[in-house]
Each structure stands twice: as structure tokens, then as C-alpha cells.
Structure 1
Amino acid sequence: MHPNQALIERFYTAFQQKDFRTMQACYHPDLRFSDPVFPKLKGAEAGLMWEMLLTRSADLTITFGNVQADYRSGSCDWEATYTFSGTGRTVHNVIHAEFLFKNDLISRHDDRFSFYEWSSQALGLTGKILGWSRFLEKKIQRKAADGLRNFIQKKAKN
């Protein structure tokens, strides 16, 4: 097994165990992270995002597979099932992740999933009607960014 494949597996095994510290340790300090909800995280922000999500989630389950990697890049398919706190609705999100590596750590992490499918599950009728729109996507991104900013500020005070 390639060492970067083992790194991805370590990351997702830690995710399954809600071990955000191990997840954070898999990331390079110059990390760039992107997904439809958190499109432009840099450095420690991504690790703190996982910490926020994991410490707030009571019923998150993660599965992963199809892990592939070489010296430069890698990929993985993973699924998350959880209750979306904003509505109490169950979400089953199917994600494809792509990675770049630097100094034996993840330097780029891009998660791709259907925002429409996610918002339809998380928001119900609102998501089904508006999930295709940039308006709803931008609104969700702003709310997520505000939540992460508040989490980071609160954490800094402690």
C-alpha cells in the first residue's frame, strides 16, 4: 500500500472514530479545502471545521472505500449519514474526495457532492425547490462560514 493511501485511510478511520485531532494531524499547514458548503478553507480552518462538526454531531456515521493514491494525488469515496441540526432531518451524503500531497501530508482536499441532493435532504421542500439555485447555496455557505468563525472565536477564548 502506498504511504499516501495509508494516510487517506488513517484520516477516514479517525473520522469514523470522531478523532478530529488525528484528522488535523493528516493535514499540511498550507492546506486548501473545498466542498459545496465550505468552498474556500485554508490552513487550520479545515481541521477546525471537522472539529466543529464532530463535536456537534450526536449520530454521525462515516463509511469510506475506493481509496487510491500515489506520490502526488489520491482519491476516496465516502458517505456520511447524520441528522442535520437546522431541521432535524436525516441526511445521507455521498461524497467523492480528491487529494494532493506535500511532505507526506494532505495539502489539498476537495470534496464533491450534489448540493441539490444534500439540500433536498437537509432542508426538505425548500431544498427541493431552491437547491439548484446559487442563492440558496450562497446562503448556506454564509451561514456555515459564520458558524465556523464563531466556533473558532469561542475556542480561542478558552
Structure 2
Amino acid sequence: MPNQDTINRFYRAFQERDGATMSACYAPDATFRDPVFELSGDRVGLMWRMLTERGKDLRVEFSNVVADENAGSADWQAWYSFSKTGRKVHNVIRARFRFRGGLIVDHVDDFDFWRWSRQALGPAGLLLGWTPMLRAKVRKQAADGLDAYAKK
């Protein structure tokens, strides 16, 4: 299945911190959503390039890759130090994809934001990680970080 190959290529590139190859797996009009980012077009690939470039201790594993001619999914995990706090994070993610012409047109990553925030932010994440206020703050900081990276 070509779309299963695309998912495998995407995550192998992630393991190698190759943001350019990850970006090449997306259609020009692709969208990406997770609890932190909501992106479209060039910004999807830009996010992966930023994360792979900054993730000096990033480790990624993936499994359960399935796909047909239109859609696919995978489970993946990432271990890394969160850049703002230096705290160690182990994130467990379920990815869903839609494809067109062998490229990803829609990518949704689901993970437990409160679990992530407890690891990444420590006590603040434990106390406030379930609140829309903290999620909005993290989303704004992530968008600002991506904007700054884009200007480089």
C-alpha cells in the first residue's frame, strides 16, 4: 500500500530527525491538528523541521501502521526534553491520516494534554493542565515559536 509506505517513510524520517523528508510527505494544502498546533499549508512542514531541529535528545518509536487508499493511522511515542523547562517528556500519540495522490492531506495527532503538561510543565501542568486557559497559553507560545522559527 503506497499510503502505508508514506506513513512509514514519515516516521522513519522523524526517527532520523529529518524534517525535510517529513515535510515532503505532505500535500501543499495539507492540514495538521493536535492539542497544541492547528496548521495548514507550508506551516505543517515548518513545524516538523523546527521540532526535529530543536529536539536534540528526541527519540521516536512507531507501530500499528495501517492504511488504505484514502486513510491511515499509526501509534507513536516520543521521548524528549521540553525546551521551555528542560523537563523530560514521554508522549503517547495516536495519529490519523487522510491521503491524496500518495501524500498526506490531513493529519490529526491525539494525545492526553494533561498528561503531557504534567511532564513538560511540572507543578503548573499538574494543577492547570486540564484548563482551557493553560492549553490556550501553550498554543500561543507554540505558534509564537513557530513564527520566530519561520523568520530565521
Q: Could you say whether these structures have the same fold, taking a TM-score greater than 0.5 normalized by the shorter chain as the test? A: yes
CA displacement, residues 48-81 of structure 1 (integer Å, 9 cap, x when unaligned): 0011111111100000000000001000000000
* In 2, Cα distance between equivalents of 1:65 and 1:135: 33
Shift of residue 116, structure 1, vs aligned partner: 0.2
Gap regions ≥5 residues in structure 2:
none
Aligned partner of residue 86 in structure 1, secondary structure: coil
Q: Which amino acid aligns with 2:28?
A: P
Q: CA deviation at 1:141?
A: 0.1
The percentage of counterpart residues that share the same residue type is: 54
- Structure 1 stretches lacking a partner, 5+ long: none
Aligned residue for 1:30? 29
Question: What is the Cα deviation at residue 21 of structure 1?
Answer: 1.1
Aligned to 2:57: 59
Letter of the 2:22 partner, please give it.
Answer: M
Which amino acid letter does the alignment assign opposite residue 28 of structure 1? A
1:44 to 23, 42, 45: 42
Deviation per CA, 1:57-116, whole angstroms, max 9, x where unpaired? 110000000000000100000000000111111000000000000111000000000000
Aligned residue in 2 for 1:14: 13
State which of 81, 85, 96 in structure 2 corresponds to 1:98: 96
